[in-house]
Each structure stands twice: as structure tokens, then as C-alpha cells.
Amino acid sequence: MMSVSPKRPKGPPLNAMRAFEAAARHVSFAAAAEELNVTAGAISQHIRTLEDWAGTPLFRRNAQGVALTSAGRALVADFTVAFDRLADATRALRNLKPNADFHIAALPSVAQLWLPRRLSRIRAQFPEISFSVTAMETPPSLSRELFDLSIFFATPDGSPGQRVICPDEIVPVCAPDLLARAGKPLEFSRLPLLHDQTWQEDWHLWSQAAGVPLGDDQKGARFSLYSLAVEEAKAGAGLLMGHLCLLEDALASGALVKAHGRSCRTGRALVVQAPAQHPQTARDGPRHRASERLIQAGRERTNDRT
């Protein structure tokens, strides 16, 4: 007797295919795990599931990492196009919501020191939009994740959707009381240095550019968040290498002062990156206007300072 509900052939799980595409694009399980917000072990297990379903290895594992097999390489282009289109379809579905939401990814220091004042102005101008901010150490993949903007320090490369806000200019800063107590001429080698772990070469870079000897440029306290280092500098704990576009408010208020007359540029810039435009996004008026206004607000403050 024929079954009225015959068993149909099943494809592999979507999560397994997503894990393969991300791992193949990065050629790294760890990078794929970071992008998809799972563990590297989960990525490995998903890919094992896909390899078992296909009956062939897609990656070679070795002590140095992973590499695609010939079978894996043959799949990458089709998988990438498929998930690009799925991301576009997801954005189109999101754009059907009656109340717009706007998601920003930003470096923690940017989210804490640069963005709040500007975002408060944008919220007042676009009350119909719900703004969310996610702080993260590395930029997300805007072609896959539902972020409308990312704001990070990067080397400008002229890529589509990239807008430069201001160059990354650095100079030592400190509390005014510390500068007064230190006297002149200021002997940097005698004062405590504060370090941000993200920018560990700041002091060496500035010392070389300004011709100021520091002794051991790696000495001193270290902080996992730049905003914590800023608060310690305000409290008089030592000299901090100031990234000027992040410290406009602290310098304007006098909470921090420049400890030297010469600054230098790092070669990076504060960069806003938007996803590649597609028809559905281009029609999304409120998000586009909010994005442009946020960029303009950033440049207004920078221009006012300079």
C-alpha cells in the first residue's frame, strides 16, 4: 500500500550551510564563529554535518588552521551568492515593518565617547526611528548582518559606502592638575603612561614622530576599554595617548588638556561604513536620511574643533 505521506528527501540544515559559507569566506573557523556569534567548535560541528551529508570533506584541518578542499572551493561562489541574496531578502522583509529601526555597530570607544552626543541629536530629528547600538571590537559583515552603519577606525580604502569622518590624530593628554604639578619642561620619561590595549603602539608611534624620548614606552597601566583609560587620565593617574576625535568633549570642557604641542596621524581614520545599496534599501527614506544626518553631525563637530 502506498503511503499517503511519503518521506521526502531532505537537504542539509540551513545553519550548517551558513557556517560553511562563513568559514569558506574567511578560511577560518574562528573568524566564522565571531561573525555568526557562536563558538569555533559549533562551526566545526556544523561543517562535519555538511560533510557527512555530502559524503566528502570540504576542509582540510591541520595544526596551522584549515584550508578548503577542491570540493569546498567549487562551492564557495554559489554559497556566497545565495547568502548575499538571502541577506537582501531579509532586509526587504525588515523594511516592511511600520516602525523603522536603525542598528549601528561601533568600536566600544566610539560607542562610548563619540556617538552619544551625536545620536541624541539624530533621535530628536527622527523620533519615528528606534536606534540601537552594538559595541564590538571588529567590524561586522554588513552584507550579512542587519546593521545599517558601522563606525570604526580603519585605513580608508575608498570602498563603496565608506565615508571618512576625521583622520586619527594622536597627542598625549592628561588632567590639568597633573600637567601643573609636572612643571616645565615636561619630562615624559618620569611620568606614568596609560595604555589602551587596542592601540598598544600609540606611544611608540607618537614618540618617533614627535622626537620625544619616553624611556620604556610600554611601561604603565593598561586598560581593555579606552573609555576607562580616559577616566583614569581625568583623575590624574597619568598621561594618556589621546585620539583627538574621541576627546573633543573632554578637551573642550577642560577635563583633559594636551600635554605636548605636536600631534601626529596614525594613518587610520574614523570611518562610517554603510551596506551596499540595493533597490529596497534605496527606497528606505528614513534610514537613509538618518544615516546621512549622523555622518554630517560627526563632521560638523570635527570641523568646529579644527
Given a cut of 90, whether residue 89 has pLDDT beyond it is no
Considering 85-99, 134-148, 183-197, 234-248, the range whose residues carry the highest mean pLDDT is 234-248
64 and 21 in a common domain: yes
Residue 77 makes CB contacts below 8 A (sequence gap 6+) with none
- As given in the structure block, the three cell numbers for residue 123 are 533621535
pLDDT at 302 over 60: no
Q: Do 120 and 146 lie in a common domain?
A: yes
Are the beta carbons of 246 and 109 closer than 8 angstroms?
Answer: yes
Mention every residue, 6+ apart, whose C-beta is less than 8 A from residue 139: 105, 150, 152, 154, 273
Strand partners, 131: 102
Both 36 and 185 in one domain: the answer is: no
Q: Is residue 210 part of a domain?
A: yes
Residue 137 and residue 279 in one domain = yes
pLDDT of 303: 45
Q: Residue 1 has what pLDDT?
A: 55
| Burial of 232 per CB tally in 10 Å (0-12, 13-18, 19+) | middle
Beta strands in the chain (DSSP E): 59-62, 65-68, 101-106, 130-135, 149-154, 162-174, 193-196, 221-223, 239-243, 257-258, 264-273
Cα angle vertex 140, ends 32, 92, to 5°? 105
- Exposure pattern of 108-138 as b/e (b: 16+ CB <10 Å)? bbbbbbbbeebbeebeeebeebebebeebee
Q: Are residues 50 and 29 in the same domain?
A: yes
- ∠ CA(226), CA(229), CA(232), 5° rounding? 155
Higher pLDDT, 73 or 125: 73
Measured over all CA atoms, what is the biggest interatomic distance in the chain, rounded to whole angstroms?
99
Residues 111 and 192 in one domain: no
What confidence category does residue 275 fall into, taking pLDDT thresholds of 50, 70 and 90? confident
How many structural domains are present in the chain? 3
- The reply to whether 44 and 178 lie within a common domain is no
Which is it for strands 193-196 and 221-223: parallel, antiparallel or unpaired? parallel
279 and 296 in a single domain? The answer is: yes
SS3 270: strand
In a domain, 135, yes or no: yes
User: Does residue 287 lie in a domain region?
Assistant: yes
Question: Is pLDDT above 90 for 154?
Answer: yes
Task: Judge if 250 and 286 occupy the same domain.
Answer: no
Range of the domain at 214: 167-266
Query: Which of these three, 70, 94, 118, is where a domain ends?
Result: 94
> Are 222 and 179 within one domain?
yes
Q: Would you say 58 and 43 are in contact if contact means Cβ atoms under 8 Å apart?
A: no
Model confidence at 249, pLDDT cuts 50, 70, 90, reads: very high
Answer yes or no: pTM beyond 0.85: no
